[in-house]
Structure 1
Amino acid sequence: MSRIFTQIFYVLLLMCTISIVAQAQSITVSGTVKDKQSKEGLAGVSLTIKGQPGGTASTANGNFSFSTTAKVPFTLVASYVGYGTVEQQVTGSTTGINLELETAVVLGGDVVVSASRTPERILESPVSIERMSAATIREVAAPSFYDALNNMKGVESSMQSLTFKSINTRGFNSNGNTRFNQYIDGMDNQAPGLNFSVGNIVGITELDVDNVELLPGASSALYGAGGINGTLLMTSKDPFKYPGASFQYKTGVNHVNDDNSTVQPFNQLDVRMAKSWNNKFGVKAAFSFLQAKDWYGNNYSNFDRVARTAKSGDRNSDPNYDGINSYGDEVSQNMRNVALSVQNATISGINAGSGGLIPNIKSTMDGAFGAAIPNAAQQAGFLASLPAALRPAVQNYFPFYVGLKAGLIPDQNISRTGYNEENLVDYSTKSLKVSGALYYNISNTVQAVALANWGTGTSVYTGSDRYSLRNFNIGQYKLEIKGDDFFVKAYTTQERSGDSYISSILGSYINEISKPSTSWFPQYIGNYVGARAAGQNDAAAHAFARGIANQGRFEPGSPQYEVAKDKVMNTTISATSINSADPSKSVYGAKFDDKSNLYHYEGMYNFTNLFDKVVEFQVGASYRLYDLNSAGTIFNDLNESIDIKEYGAFAQIGKKLFNDKVKFTFAGRYDKSQNFEGRFTPRITGVFTVAKNNNIRVSYQTGYRNPTTQNQYIDLSVGGGSQRLIGGLPEIMFSKYHLDTNKPYTDVSYRAFLASAAATGTPNPALLQQYNFDSRGVRPESVQSYELGYKGLLLPNLLVDAYGYYNIYKDFITAVDVYQNVGGSFVKFGVPVNAEGEVTSYGAALGLDYLVGKWNVSGNVSYNQIGDLPANYINDFNTPKIRYNLGLGNKEIIKNFGFNLAYRWQDQFYWNSSFASGQVPAYSSLDAQVSLRIPSVQSVIKLGGSNVLNKYYFTSYGNPSAGAIYYVGLSFNP
């Protein structure tokens, strides 16, 4: 792959050299741009030459100057948010040009690209689309533009930590959303080993964002696999249009009135520098660093892993307590089953130790005591009658013998004592992002770009567990040649897990190092029986037994705890080795070792201009390679390499009819992954102009997503070691774990089997029911989406956008838990499968934007609902029925003073995931900011906050609650 990138680089270098030799003499374009009414210079006005690349932005006093190879005459275009665009013909001198702009905010004037992969007015988009411009980003009340995505119509998010948020639209929200695509400058921003974007931790810096476009719903016909529920496209700034230096610094606090922490600092610094020469060469660099204390995962509700919901009780009242944000207590065993296991082991051990003289110690004891329960004196007498070598084993067995015989051991599960998340996870959040790019204008219409984005950070992600992402990093590197009608690009994404680890594995393994479960559970039960026999009630006996079993447990903060924690979190999962004969020789690891990569090659050509714009016609193709490397810590790649190859091609044709009142577009894409059958995804759209600036749109779109790299190849122990997640490909399920020949049993029947053993002492195998996997393994899921929408200006200052949709999903990817009998022991597997039947969902949304002078009033409401569900499908729609946003702002309520308010509310809903399930209460949040512009120094001071009323809320069950962030920021030349 590196050789291909080298060849592309040499091609670009050659083209640049040829162009340098041939470039024409440049001229300087300069002048001043002012407010027509106040006659004050305007800073930040965009100055470009119509039909030419490059340009500049005006300085603090309104002056501008840039070089170009364009020849007179040409048209100079000046544009600035809040002002009307001015075009001035330049026929003579190119210096001393004076321009004046008038205030004129025009709704619906934005141009978008992502809806059809070609520029078009947002009012004429054939599908629903949301857009955020650089000017909008400067005014958001939230701490970052990424946080402000929540204010868009129909957008929801799952907040797993301060810096890790998963964006979603149209239902089926999730932690680490694999149904939503995110692109930065045309590069898929997903982490190759996860198949989803890690929020904006490793992404684009705020000062370098030119615009953000969001497509709700399916988009596979244009963008390929993924994006089944939405696609987000972020575009960075061109150094020719946005030259100069800029920075912003925000400092503030969070954890105000937080029971888990004192008030903590929040700091972020962003810097951007860009420069161009002769309208030919351009360079830019950006830097961002954030540091703060993360929100605490403190949901200690008792989780029932059978019913997959919270239940009553805590560690004091429920011996089988399993706290949602407590780890290590996932390890649980049935008291009677443990007692029976100890009894069987004792029988076998004494039989071997006595040379067969005592084949069954239980029968021998039954013969000695009859129906009576032996007291201490009788036990001592029986021990004295045995050979000295056998006495220790029988003495240890007596509590279990007495407990089972007297019915003192309940049919009840008990769990180990866990550790709270705050003692296991690194909450010292940080995010460092750096980027750089070189631009070269080969001609007036063709540009070459070499771009690099790299970031590292520490955060927390929620999957089947809570994962502490420490010092992980992702790099993206791209080479591209693009013109008005085409692009060819190649990029790679390099993911490195750093020091990341699984919190539940860490908690359970600290327990194992302090005292192995093979000793802890028998010790607990033996002391429980002793306490009950001494007359204590059940609750007191459990408390006494736990206290004894926990003796020697490493307490958080103790030297033993810190040594064990450090050792486990720095040992890889694949290095784990359990030595049951000598637990002190066991090796425990919770660390990932992921170094997965993605390589992507893509090209597109737009033939519209060749056809004299009679029809719009585009074609494109792509090739992608996933190179998975986890050293056995995530994937089944300890002893083999895993590569996944994908390729695809698309075509789109559009035509305007009836005096441009109607436009139809047809698109289709074919994609093939090496592990799955090829797939064709069509799209049909129509836009009908019913009046000037008023359009009705209809669309039929299809989308699909391949099973993720983890759905295909994962091989990972989770849940404190109590379960193994495996991939759904036949080579994993059948060839490695033989789930086709040694068929596993369903979760429900296995639990009934356990209950029969606890009740009678002998399990009833007739209760076990086999689970039959599809011989094809897991397959891609797909969606058909129907949409009807309207967008238009009902008044010159009132923009309305409304839509309704109906989705039909097939082969929805879900998961099942099964139990396989391996040599007499049952192993629990979590396996991805496809749900049978169809899943439907539907919804609608309405958005309004109203301008009154310099006041901007906005609001939107969205409705989402799940429809038909197949039998046995676990509902993970994870979306409130109703949510709405309200906004109020004025950029200059008095001279140089502005403000912005953003209020959002969403209804309660039930959250279902592989980590935890439970009710998410309704919540509201208010973001606010006031700003002061200081034109003389090109600066803005902003005072603001998110969730300023400090009402703690959580967006998804099992994830932390977020309070307010209050900050003050200083921006220079934003």
Structure 2
Amino acid sequence: MKKSSTQLALFVGFFLLVTISCFAQTKISGTVTESNTKIPLIGVSITIKGTVAGTITDAKGQFALTTSASGPLTVVVSSVGFQTREIAVGNQSDLKIELSEQVMLGQEVIVSASRVEESVMQSPVSVEKMDIRAIQSAPAATFYDALLNLKGVDMSTQSLMFRSVNVRGFSANGNTRVVQLVDGMDNQAPGLNFSVGNIAGMSELDVESVELLPGAASALYGPNAINGLLLMTSKNPFQYQGLSAYAKTGIMSASNRSTATTPFYDAGIRYAKAFSNRLAFKLSASYISATDWQATDTRDQSFANGFSLGNGNRQSNPGYDGINIYGDASANLNAFQSTVAQLLPLPVAQIALISPDLARIIGGVNQLSAATNIPATQIVNDVLLPNVTVSRTGYNESDLVNYKVSSLKLNGALHYRINDNLEAIVQGNWGTGTTGYTGQDRFYIKAFSIGQYKVELKGSNFFIRGYTTQERSGDSFSIGLLGQGINEAWKPSLDQSNLVGSWFPQYAFAYAGGALQTFSTALQQALATNPATAYQTALSAVNAVSPTLHTTARTTADQGRFLPGTEPFNQALTTVTGRPLPGSLPNLGAKFMDKTNLYHGEFMYNFTKLIDPKKVEILVGGNYRQYALNSSGTIFALDENNNEYRINEFGGYAQASKTVAEILKLTGSVRYDKNSNFKGQFSPRLSAVLTVARSHNIRASFQRGFRIPTTQSQYIDLNTPTSHLIGGLKQFRDKYNFGTNPAYTLESVRAFGDALQKGIALPQASQLLQRYQDAQWDPERVETYEIGYKALIKNKLFVDAYYYYNRFLNFEGIQATIQGTQPATVDNPASLLQLLSSTTRTTYGFYVNAPVQVKNHGWAVSADYLLPGNFVVGGNVAYNALADRDKLPTGFVTFFNSPKYRYNLSVSNRNIRNSGFGFNVVFRHQDSFLWESSFANPEATLLRQTEIPAFGSLDAQVSKRIPGIRSVLKVGGTNVLGKLYAQAWGNPSVGGMYYVSLTFDELMNR
């Protein structure tokens, strides 16, 4: 009986639920056609304003929709390429709706600026947007590459598959100052702290829009959105249904590549389906494969032996350090003076047991000293082992990587509308690929993957979401460490237990033997003619043949070297790339072992439905985030329990806005964030938008942004070929004994070495050294002031302009210091000599705050004009400058990598005279500028000689709609003139790319 009662209660409850849900439901149906031709439009989005309810039109342009939302109701009718309409409806069953095709100038709706939908014309800050039409007509090979056409955008091309988006000057190859969100998920690789381009993002078929917000966005989006926000939104499967696919192929051509011209292949597919307007899903996949651009800059950046950037080479400079040459570690010959000095008193026969060649040198020095009364140590110091830097013979980048790059992206989502006001989403994005990256070293990111998995509850005025980002480094490796590791696998650079079997001693002693023979012969001849100047004459004779002596010494030391393509070389390459980095000499490793995860939860609620929006609009939100570092102890430091660290962050924000007299919109917001290693930070933003004569909008804003140091800048502990990178937290300076073994600034060590080469005595030269003074390290903050103007004049001319001024507090940059292997102090001047040789010193790089304020400013203007026949001409120009650069400490790396001026010019027409033909041509130009990075030789950065040359590039495409197969055929090219250019120091040279593509969409109109 009890069971029956329970069943009856459940039945009654279910019956009442169904009855209530069916009560007062409104049915809306109709047909949507094109206004001129009256042709039915398929795939048009029909939504109930203020709800998540909606549907699309079918192949006949018809739709039917049932909603339980209470009236009055407004239906929003929208489709790409057509003017959006809002229609007030009742219980209507046969609406006749016409849409007019529209060239959109200033009509876009954005969400990035205020986290709510608003017209781009009334945005409180600068916003750039690419919608589906802009993406389809872009002359770029991918939608991500098309971001270059937006005003003020710089991109750093490290690979065909990897471009970093940079804005407002402070740029990097992996830019941690711009946050990239994909459907609300931070797309950064948690262990790298920057987005790896679009290698693990969205398929082009699934992109609905891309919004770029240059400048600080921390007030609403939290830490790290200090220079910009890139918001990518995918297509909702309720609104974008059916099958779509594309196939693209073409060639890439660059004269500096091993094979100048190679093919590439790119394909994608997407399918979405909705059931009863309640349940919908989508699946998409895309794959691209190509042979990458190549980095072949062999200019000498060593600054060794009196050479400056680019004027040395392997033949002229024994210390040659090629930009894209790897494994060319260096040492100073005079570092071996003490070794020889210790051997001088020993019997030659005893030395011969170690090395006959070394015995002949020691014997010759002693005999010459006895015959001339010249001290043996003087002969060693002045003649045999002078103050000359030499480097190992390195490998070209093309010797170490095959340049095969690829990207596979898989995306899927399940959407369920619980009711008209609530939608549940489960989404997964997974991508894997192989690409190149330039950081502290050049890296080959091989079989790298990122998975992002999200659950979300979304209403018309709120969302709650949680997601995780799972990074896996795959078989990625450091190219610089690989080159050095192969050299070490063949022959150690310096093995104290086997000097004669080590490369640098072999080189040093081979050079010394040749120098001794030349010196001895010249000295004997000079003594016979002019004894007073004999020593200097003989020394000059050695200097005259020094290039030949260095060539002979290198040939001697390089005997048996592993050559690219040989079995020993390939075996060493396999061994080094399979060993975790960095290893230790001689067993170096180059493989990344990163499996860092990010966990994130957040919410937002808009009180619009509870508060009269005419009075004020209020929204609040918050988030919690955790980074779980996991590099198997290869990249990140370990705690006292031998575990890698976890970093926790949380934050919350509130925003209020009010429109006054329908012409002035005022907005204020504030956010608080806390990281487990740093003090809490407040980020306010105040803005005003004044609308004059309906189409002229003047905006002004003040906001404060901040950037919590990245996981790597906090906890990295990694040796690279150029320096030892350590975290900026004080625990690392304690770990490496900066207190008892002083570290000196790079620029002062350079000045110290220059003084010694000029003959200044050691005690006096040592006074130039400046010890690094420890200081507190805080999150970087910026105060941004911006004014702007946006107008649509007579529906023909769209103008957008802004000026900004940034004042950075606690600006973050890199400090390079030099520490001796043994304590080097001014009290013991002889100990300071170890600071001058890479074999007896360590170069540390870590993040610090600038001791002075850093300021920069800039402006940008864009204009698009609609000509008769829907032809559009446009252009934009941007200016960025760093103020008072000379007031920064010498050697402080700001990463301000931006041309002062860059501009784009374009002309386009999406559909010429309704023929289905369209075209788009874009010319881009940027000035030359200095590049500051940790990849460049520190002295090159110190002397500001890392110039990126100016360049221009022309992109173009022609397209044709083919209605019969619902497809678009596109033929185009990027950098069609084929002139090579590089966008960053050490990056590959970009050539021309030419392609043909066919895109099918079963819901494509006309």
Relative to the length of structure 1, the TM-score reads: 0.88
| Aligned mates of 1:538, 1:64 — CA distance in 2 | 87
1:763 deviates by: 6.0
Alignment partner of 2:371: what SS? coil
CA distance 1:713–1:936, change in 2 (3 Å)? same
1:938 aligns with 2:972: no
| C-alpha distance after superposition, 1:87-127 (max 9, x if no partner) | 556656646x5543333434222111111111111111111
Instruction: Output the CA distance in 2 between the equivalents of 1:626 and 1:772.
Output: 31
Larger deviation: 951-960 or 289-298? 951-960
1:715-726 paired onto structure 2 within 5 Å: 715-719=717-721, 723-726=723-726
Shift of 1:169: 1.0
Cα distance change, pair 369–692 in 1 and its aligned pair in 2 (3 A):
closer
Q: State how far apart, in whole Å, the 2-side matches of 1:886 and 1:39 are.
A: 36
Q: How far off is 1:604 after superposition?
A: 1.3
Task: Please name the residue that 1:327 is paired with.
Answer: 326
2:796 counterpart letter in structure 1: N
Q: How does 1:570-585 map to 2 (within 5 A)?
A: 570-573=578-581, 576-578=583-585
Q: Which residue of 2 aligns with 1:290?
A: 288
- Provide the residue aligned with 2:6 in structure 1: none
Contact 1:527–1:545 (8 Å) recurs in 2: yes
Partner of 1:799: 798
- What does the per-residue CA deviation read over 1:117-172, in whole Å, with 9 as the maximum and x for residues that have no partner? 11111111111111111221111110111100011111111111111111011111
Report the alpha carbon displacement of residue 410 of structure 1 after superposing the two structures with TM.
3.1
Which letter does structure 1 place at the counterpart of 2:999? S
Q: Measure the CA separation in 2 of the matches of 1:18 and 1:508.
A: 75
Alpha carbons of 1:704 and 1:565: their partners in 2 closer, same or farther (altered >3 Å)? same
Which one of 517, 522, 544 corresponds to residue 552 of structure 2? 544
Distance 1:569 1:349 in 2: 45
**Structure 2 counterpart of 1:583:** none
User: Is the Cα–Cα contact under 8 Å of residues 745 and 768 in structure 1 kept in the other structure?
Assistant: no
Contact 1:56 1:242 in 2 (8 A): no
Match among 832, 846, 870 for residue 847 of structure 2: 832
Q: 1:540 to 1:935 in 2, by over 3 A?
A: same
Aligned in 2, Cα 1:364/1:78: closer, same or farther, shift over 3 Å?
Answer: closer
Asked if 2 retains the 8 angstrom alpha-carbon contact of 1:28 and 1:65, the reply is no
Is the CA contact (8 Å cut-off) linking 2:466 and 2:600 kept in structure 1? yes
- Of the three residues 493, 496, 504, the one matched with 2:480 is 504
Take 1:418 and 1:301, find their aligned partners in 2: how far apart are those partners?
13
Counterpart residue number, 1:897: 917
Alignment match, 1:122: 120
Q: Is the 8 A contact 2:344 2:366 kept in 1?
A: no
SS at structure 1 position matched to 2:911: strand
Please state how far the C-alpha of 1:70 moved relative to its aligned partner: 5.3
Q: State the Cα distance separating 1:962 from its structure 2 match.
A: 0.6
CA apart distance, 1:408: 4.1
> Do the aligned residues in 2 keep the contact of 1:271 with 1:286 (CA within 8 Å)?
yes
Note closer, same or farther for the CA distance 1:402–1:37 as it changes in structure 2 (3 Å cut): same
Query: Per-residue deviation at 1:188?
Result: 0.8
- Matched residue count: 916
Q: Is the 8 A contact 1:164 1:199 kept in 2?
A: yes
Quote the offset at 1:342 in angstroms.
Answer: 4.3
Structure 1 residue 24: Cα displacement: 4.3
2:874 maps to 858
Contact 2:256/2:294 (<8 A) preserved: no
Distance 2:321 2:144 in 1: 34
Instruction: Please tell me whether the aligned partners of residues 293 and 403 of structure 2 are also in contact (alpha carbons under 8 angstroms).
Output: yes
Partner of 2:986: 958
What is the CA deviation profile of residues 894-928 of structure 1, one whole-angstrom value per residue up to 9, with x for unaligned ones?
41111111221111111111112511111111111
Match of 1:642 in 2: 645
Q: CA deviation at 1:480?
A: 0.9
Identify if the C-alpha distance between structure 1 residues 505 and 23 changes in structure 2 by more than 3 Å, giving closer, same or farther: farther
Deviation at 1:370, TM superposition (A): 3.8
- After superposition, residues 634-673 of structure 1 pair within 5 angstroms as 634-637=635-638, 639-657=642-660, 659-673=661-675
Matched residue SS, 2:897: coil
Letter of the structure 2 residue corresponding to residue 864 of structure 1:
N
Cα separation, partners in 2 of 1:353 and 1:423, compared to 1, 3 Å: closer
* Distance verdict in 2 for CA 1:516–1:532, change over 3 Å: same
Distance in 1 separating the partners of 2:347 and 2:54: 86
| Distance in 2 separating the partners of 1:308 and 1:468 | 30
**1:485 is aligned to 2:513:** no
Counterpart contact for 1:339–1:525, Cα < 8 Å:
no
C-alpha separation in 1, matches of 2:57 and 2:610? 36
Whole-angstrom distance in 1 between the partners of 2:716 and 2:344: 38
Q: Distance in 1 between matches of 2:493 and 2:344?
A: 17
Residue 433 (structure 1) aligned to one of 395, 400, 409: 409
1:517 deviation in Å? 1.1
Distance 1:785 1:770, change over 3 A: same
**TM-score, structure 2 length as denominator?**
0.86
CA, structure 1 residues 751+263, in 2 after alignment: closer, same or farther (shift >3 Å)? same
Q: Distance in 2 between matches of 1:803 and 1:759?
A: 52
Counterparts of 1:236-635 in structure 2, within 5 Å, are 236-304=234-302, 310-329=309-328, 331-344=329-342, 370-372=369-371, 404=380, 407-518=383-494, 519-535=502-518, 537-573=545-581, 576-578=583-585, 586-613=586-613, 614-635=615-636
Separation in structure 2 between the aligned mates of residue 158 and residue 221 of structure 1, nearest angstrom: 27
Structure-2 separation of matches of 1:17 and 1:630: 56
Provide the residue aligned with 1:883 in structure 2: 902
Contact 1:68 1:278 in 2 (8 A): no
Letter of the 2:951 partner, please give it: Y
Cα distance in 1 for partners of 2:227, 2:553 equals 51
How many Å apart are 1:374 and its aligned residue?
12
Kindly indicate whether the alpha-carbon contact (under 8 Å) linking 1:34 and 1:62 is maintained by their aligned counterparts in 2.
no
2:929 maps to 1:909: yes
Equivalent of residue 871 in structure 1, options 871, 882, 888: 888
Distance 1:827 1:77, change over 3 A: closer
Asked if the contact 1:67/1:278 (under 8 Å) is kept, the reply is: no
Deviations 1:430-460 (A, max 9, x none): 0111111111112212111111111111011
Do the aligned partners of residues 54 and 141 (structure 1) sit closer, same or farther apart at CA in structure 2, a change above 3 Å counting?
Answer: farther
SS at match of 1:850: strand
- Which of 167, 170, 176 in structure 2 is aligned with 1:169? 167
127 and 808 in structure 1: CA distance in 2 versus 1, 3 angstrom threshold:
same
Corresponding position of 1:728: 728
Distance 1:649 1:162 in 2: 38
1:274-302 CA distance string (max 9 Å, x none): 11111111111111111011100011110
Q: Partners of 2:612 and 2:676 in 1: how far apart?
A: 39
Q: Give the aligned partner of residue 676 of structure 1.
A: 678
SS in structure 2 of the partner of residue 310 of structure 1:
coil
Q: By how many angstroms is 1:361 displaced?
A: 13
Tell me the residue number matched to 1:382. none
Q: Percent identity?
A: 45
Q: Pick one of 143, 149, 152 that aligns with 1:151.
A: 149
Instruction: Using the TM superposition, give the Cα deviation of residue 310 of structure 1 relative to its aligned residue in structure 2, in angstroms.
Output: 2.5
Q: Mark the CA change 1:308 to 1:121 in structure 2 (over 3 Å): closer, same or farther.
A: farther
**C-alpha contact (below 8 Å) 1:19/1:443 kept by paired residues:** no
Amino acid at match of 1:682: P
Structure 1 residues 939 and 319, CA, compared in 2 at 3 Å: closer, same or farther? same
1:448 and 1:609 map into 2 onto residues whose CA distance is 20
With over 3 angstroms needed to count, the CA separation of the structure-2 counterparts of 1:661 and 1:868, relative to structure 1, is: same
RMSD of aligned alpha carbons? 3.2
- Per-residue deviation, residues 835-862 of structure 1 (Å, max 9, x unmatched): 1111111111111121123212221111
SS of the residue 1:521 aligns to: helix
**Unaligned ranges ≥5, structure 2:** 1-13, 353-358, 495-501, 519-543, 824-839
Cα shift at 1:345: 6.7
Kindly state the Cα deviation for residue 478 of structure 1 after the two structures are TM-superposed.
0.9
Which letter does structure 1 place at the counterpart of 2:870? K
User: Counterpart of 2:702 in structure 1: which amino acid?
Assistant: Y
Cα distance in 2, alignment partners of residues 351 and 942 from structure 1? 80
Counterpart for residue 219 of structure 1: 217
